[in-house]
Amino acid sequence: MNIHIISVVPELLDSPFGHSIMKRAADKGLMHVTIHHLRDWAVNAHGMVDDYQFGGGAGMVMMCEPLANAIEELNAKHNFDEIIYLTPDGGVFNQHMANALSMKKSLLFICGHYKGIDERIREHFITREISIGDFVLSGGELAAAVVVDAIGRLIPGVLNDETSALFDSFQDNLLAPPVYTRPEDFRGWKVPEVLMSGDHKKIEEWRYEQAMKRTEDRRPDMLNNEE
Ligand code: ADE
């Protein structure tokens, strides 16, 4: 999968894709992330990409021209399946969306800053708007990193044990059950006996019960949500 990200603070994205599973995805050639600096399409030699908003009010707005030129140039080369704007008023990101996006070949993410981007870019170029939750970040970069991470780990071959993503929280509309590792007894705090039994059927049943209980306790809304 090819992922392109347009940002006015590309330094914010230096690290998230250079480690751990995202690095492995890149090393295996399964996910390639390219960060573009919007200032490369600035309207003047001062690097101008934003301007005052019409109608007055505090805060700058990211201008049409740099964004339109950047999107058109990159889209002509990469033919994006989706052009995604990260914004707190987008649809709230979830595992269902991550699954759908992980099947695409080429995605472009636009990170907003200041007051956001000119509405005409949203109307004419953006195919999907995503929020990562009901709070406001200072820009879309960290949101883009979250979304790309969630998508990247679902690409077949990225995780070593391919089945492990299938048992993630949310993947079956349940939270994940508790997990334990050695030692079996830490300060007298013992691992549930069933996990030491070697009886795989019993272990599966226990995990399902625990996942169900955890979901009922913490996220009962998920059990009523028939998505
Ligand atoms: N940009 C600012 N806040 C955001 C959020 N909650 N989700 C996505 N992009 C954002």
Asked whether 86 lines ligand 1 (CB < 6 A), one says yes
Q: How far apart are CA 160 and CA 112, in angstroms?
A: 34
Please check the confidence at residue 8 and state whether its pLDDT lies above 90. yes
Lateral strand order in the sheet of 106-111: 32-37, 2-7, 106-111, 82-92, 128-131
pLDDT at 162 (0 to 100): 58
Together in a domain, 28 and 105: yes
Q: How far apart are CA 40 and CA 118, in angstroms?
A: 18
Q: Of 152, 179, 200, which one is at a domain's C-terminal end?
A: 152
Please answer whether residues 207 and 180 qualify as being in contact, where contact means their C-beta atoms are separated by less than 8 angstroms: no
Judge whether 17 lies within some domain: yes
Average pLDDT, stretch 199-222? 97
In the chain, how many domains are there? 2
Beta carbons within 8 Å of 138's beta carbon, 6+ residues apart: 113
- Provide the CATH number for the domain around residue 185: 1.10.1270.20
pLDDT at 165 (0 to 100): 78
Q: How far apart are CA 42 and CA 38, in angstroms?
A: 7
Does residue 65 sit in helix, strand or coil? Answer: helix
Q: Of 124, 152, 180, which one is at a domain's C-terminal end?
A: 152
Q: How far apart are CA 127 and CA 50, in angstroms?
A: 22
The pLDDT tens digits for 158-202 are: 998 756 777 788 878 899 999 999 999 999 999 999 999 999 999
Together in a domain, 133 and 52: yes
Measure 125 CA to ligand 1 centroid, in angstroms: 19
Q: What integer best gives the mean pLDDT of the chain?
A: 95
Q: Which atom of ligand 1 is nearest to the CA of 130?
A: 8
Q: Of 119, 152, 185, which one is at a domain's C-terminal end?
A: 152
Together in a domain, 72 and 131: yes
Q: Which of 7, 97, 131, 149 to mutate to test the pocket of ligand 1 (most atoms within 8 A of CB)?
A: 131
Asked whether 136 lines ligand 1 (CB < 6 A), one says yes
Asked whether 133 lines ligand 1 (CB < 6 A), one says yes
Average pLDDT, stretch 108-125? 96
Does residue 185 sit in helix, strand or coil? Answer: strand
Judge whether 128 lies within some domain: yes
Does residue 52 sit in helix, strand or coil? Answer: strand
pLDDT at 54 (0 to 100): 97
Q: How far apart are CA 107 and CA 4, in angstroms?
A: 6
Please check the confidence at residue 227 and state whether its pLDDT lies above 70. no
Together in a domain, 87 and 197: no
Cite the beta strand spans of the chain per DSSP E: 2-7, 32-37, 50-52, 60-62, 82-92, 106-111, 128-131, 185-186, 189-190
Together in a domain, 127 and 177: no
Domain range for 52:
2-152
Question: By alpha-carbon position, which residue is closest to atom 7 of ligand 1?
Answer: 131
pLDDT at 129 (0 to 100): 98
Judge whether 164 lies within some domain: no
Q: Token pair of 75, please? A: 């889209």
- Provide the CATH number for the domain around residue 53: 3.40.1280.10
Please answer whether residues 148 and 17 qualify as being in contact, where contact means their C-beta atoms are separated by less than 8 angstroms: yes
Together in a domain, 124 and 183: no
Band of pLDDT at residue 224, cut at 50, 70 and 90: confident
pLDDT at 164 (0 to 100): 73
Together in a domain, 83 and 38: yes
pLDDT at 166 (0 to 100): 73
Does residue 193 sit in helix, strand or coil? Answer: helix
Beta bridge partners of 189: 186
State residue 177 phi and psi, 5-degree precision. -75, 165
